[in-house]
Amino acid sequence: MGIFDSLRSVFGTRAEADATRDADPEDLFGMSTAYLTMEADLDFASVGAAALCFSNVDSTDFAETVEGVAEILEAGAEETGTTFRLHEDDHGYQWVVLEDSDPEDLVTSVHFAADEFVERGYGSRLLAAVFGFERRDSKAYWVYSFRRGAYYPFAPERGHDRDQRLEFKLRSVLDGELSVEDDEQYWYPLWPDRDGGHPWE
């Protein structure tokens, strides 16, 4: 099974069959306090970026929905200063990539974007929200799976290795503050397209 098939299985068909409930963007606000814990207890600071991953629908209505998301983010940028761009990765998945030095603004903007998909009837197309952190030469991510209604940690290393010790440490510190996925088979690695990059790049 290739990387694309694995992603489609975990975030797509299999996750949909095993979904615990419908996508709820309100869960994203848990990251507002998790940012503080990551820095205070683990010395991980925000990378100044977050992203929303979704699967495309070949329809005019869905294209208009994506345009609506962009309009909401553009309007919000005037108040928060959060910049955004749309990106398609090598596997055909779509991303809304947001950048802001204020983690609270990132959480709010990701929520606005996700909520617009839900309001327009496309909550099922939401796959994940990804929040990035860094500490010295290490990167770590909290990934929120909309179909599972839970977060999980992802700590990539060079090559396609992961720092599982760090991932378990992140879970032990944040479990209770975030709703953490207890089934580790759903801790899917979102490998970046290049070493040292982010999953949304």
Nearest 10 degrees: Cα torsion 199, 97, 92, 166: 20
98: Cα within 13 Å, side-chain hemisphere? 34
21 pLDDT higher than 60? no
CATH topology of domain 3-186: Alpha-Beta Plaits (3.30.70)
Q: Which amino acid is at 99?
A: E
**For the segment 42-65, what is each residue's pLDDT rounded down to a tens digit?**
999 999 999 999 999 999 999 999
pLDDT exceeds cutoff 90 at 3: no
The encoded tokens of residue 137 equal: 């030469």
pLDDT band at 164 (very low <50, low <70, confident <90, very high): very high
Distance CA 18, CA 147 (A): 8
Mind giving me the DSSP string for the chain?
--HHHHHHIIIIIHHHHT--SS--GGGGGGHHHHHHHHHHHH-PEEEEEEEEEE----SHHHHHHHHHHHHHHHHHHHHH--EEEEEE-TTS-EEEEEE-S-HHHHHHHHHHHHHHHHHTT-GGGEEEEEEEEEETTEEEEEEEETTTTEEEEE-EETTTEE-HHHHHHHHHHHBTTB-B-S-GGG------SSTT--TT-
Entry pTM: 0.89
pLDDT tier at 20, thresholds 50, 70, 90: low
- Per-residue burial over 79-94, b if 16 or more Cβ lie within 10 Å, else e, is ebebebeeeebeeebb
Whether the Cβ atoms of residue 191 and residue 156 lie closer than 8 Å to each other: yes
